[in-house]
Amino acid sequence: MIQNIQEFHSQLADKKITVSELVSQYLKNIENKNKDLNIYLEVFDDALTIAKQYDAELENKSIEEILKERPLFGVPVAVKDNILIKGKIASASSKILENYVATYDATAIIKLRNAGAIFLGRVNMDEFAMGGSTENSAYGVTKNPLNEEYVAGGSSGGSAAAISADMALISLGSDTGGSIRQPAAYNGVFGLKPTYGSISRHGLMAMASSFDVIGPFAKDIQDVKKVFEIMKGQDELDSTTHIEVEPLTKDKIKVGVPNEFIFTDGVSEEVKESIKDTVEKLKANGVEVVDISIPLLKEALALYYILVPAEVSSNMARYDGVRYGNAVSTSNGIEDYLQTRGQLLGAEVKRRIILGTYILSAGYHDAYYKKAIILRDKLTKDIQEKFKDIDVILTPTTPDTAFKIGEKVTDPLTLYLADIFTVTANLVGMPAISVPYKNEQGERGTENNMPLGLQFMANTDDENVLFSIAKMV
C-alpha cells in the first residue's frame, strides 16, 4: 500500500495509479478486514463516486496545477465518529445518538474537503470519547491490527487502527487527555495533539470543552504536518480558536527529560529503556538533553480526573431524549428521562457524569473543583517557565504497551493510569505528538512485539519543533 501523501501524488503524476484505484484499494481492505477488527462503523457510499470525479479532473489538468489549490487531492481519510459530516450519521459510538444525522460540517471537515480529501467513513471510538481502549463503544471493541488479542487504545482507537491496518491514508481523531497519542502509540503510528485553540472545535461533539482538540494520524510525519497546517486557523464559529502564530525556527533544539517522573514504579522496563535509547539517539544528532524537574507532573492525573468529569457532567446534560438523542418512552416524563439516560448511555459515561456532578455539588465544589483550577494554573505557569530554558519535553506516551482486550474492563482506575504521561499537555493546552519507537535494530524492542510511543511536548503554537524532533528518532 502507498505509505504517504507524497508517494500517492507522485504516482498520480506518473499515471501509475488513479484516485479511484487508491480508494478502491482501501475499500477492499475495509471489506476484507473490518469484520474481524471492527474499525469502521460505516463506509460512505459516495467515496468512490467522488474519486471518479477527481480522475475526470486529471484528464484536463495536471496534478501539479491541482495541488496548488488542493494539497490533499484524492487523499482517503477516516473520521472519528464524534466529528460531524453533513448528511452522515455521527453517533459518538453511543446508542443514544444511533440515528443522529449531522446537519452541518465540522470546520475541520470543510477545510479538508476544500483541500481535496475524500472521506471513506466513520470509525469506532469510546462512547462520547470517554475511555482509553475503545472497549466502551456501544458497537463493540476495535481490535489492534498488529495483534487482535490486544486493544487499539482509545478513545480514538478506530482512527489509529485505520492507519495501522491500511484502511485509510489519513485519519482524524480527538484528544481530551491522550485520546490521539495513546492509540497512536499502541498502533505504531504518528498522532498529533495540537495546541488548544489552533484547530476549530466547531462540529466536534464536546466531552470536556477546555481540553478537547481535533488532530491527525498518519504513518508519515510530513503527512501529519500537512494535515495540521490545513486544519489550523481562527474560526468565527469557535471563540477559543486563535490567530495563526508564525512558527518559530530554531537552529538547535534543547530537550528536557523529567527523569524523576519517568523512572518510577508502574512504568515498564521496556518503556524506560526506550527513553534511555532515545536520549542517546538525540545526543548523537547534536541535540542537548537535560534533566528537568516539574513536581506538579505527578498531580496532573488527579487534576485531570477532577476537572474533566466536571465538564463532562455539564456537556452531557443535553442528551436527555428531549433536546438530543433517542428516547425511551414510559408512563411519565421523569421516568422517560431516567430510563433514556439509564438504558442508552454506557457505564463509563454514567460513571463520569456521576463523578462530575459530585465534584460540582454545593458541598464539594470548593474542596475539589476550585482547588484543581488553581493547581491547573500553577502547572501551566511552571511548564511555561521551563520552556524559557528548553524547547521540548520528552516522556513515554504510555507506561506500557497495549493491554489485552478485557484485561482492565472491570478496573477503571488502572485504565485511567494509562493517561499519566499524556494528560499534562491537555491541562496546559500545549501541543504534543506520539512518535513510534524503534530500537537500533529497527524493532519495537518489546517482549510481546507491540509498539511503544515516544511523546514530545512543546510550548504553545510550537508544533514545528515537534515535527523537527520527530524526524530525529
Q: Is residue 296 one of the residues assigned to a domain?
A: no
Q: Is the pTM of this model over 0.75?
A: yes
User: Is 117 within a domain?
Assistant: yes
Look up the CATH number of the domain holding residue 31: 3.90.1300.10
pLDDT of residue 54: 98
In a domain, 461, yes or no: no
pLDDT digits (tens), the chain, 473 positions:
999 999 999 999 999 999 999 999 999 999 999 999 999 999 999 999 999 999 999 999 999 999 999 999 999 999 999 999 999 999 999 999 999 999 999 999 999 999 999 999 999 999 999 999 999 999 999 999 999 999 999 999 999 999 999 999 999 999 999 999 999 999 999 999 999 999 999 999 999 999 999 999 999 999 999 999 999 999 999 999 998 777 666 778 999 999 999 999 999 999 999 999 999 999 999 999 999 999 999 999 999 999 999 999 999 999 988 887 887 888 887 887 788 888 889 999 999 999 999 999 998 999 999 999 999 999 999 999 999 999 999 999 999 999 999 999 888 888 888 999 999 999 999 999 999 999 877 788 788 899 999 999 999 999 999 999 999 99
pLDDT at 268: 95
- pLDDT for position 195: 98
Residue 123 lies in a domain: yes
pLDDT score at 248? 65
- Predicted pLDDT at 335: 81
- Torsions phi, psi of 384, nearest 5? -60, -35
Domain that holds residue 174: 5-231
Residue 305 belongs to some domain of the structure: no
Query: Is 209 within a domain?
Result: yes
Q: Looking at the domain assignment, is residue 357 inside a domain? A: no
In a domain, 457, yes or no: no
Total structural domains within the chain: 1
Residues marked active site are found at 80, 155, 179
Measured CA to CA, the distance from residue 451 to residue 443 in angstroms comes to: 9
Residues 86 and 103: their CA atoms lie apart, in Å, by 5
Alpha carbon distance 159, 165 (integer Å): 10
- Dist CA 468 CA 54 (whole Å): 33
Cα(358)–Cα(165) distance, integer angstroms: 41
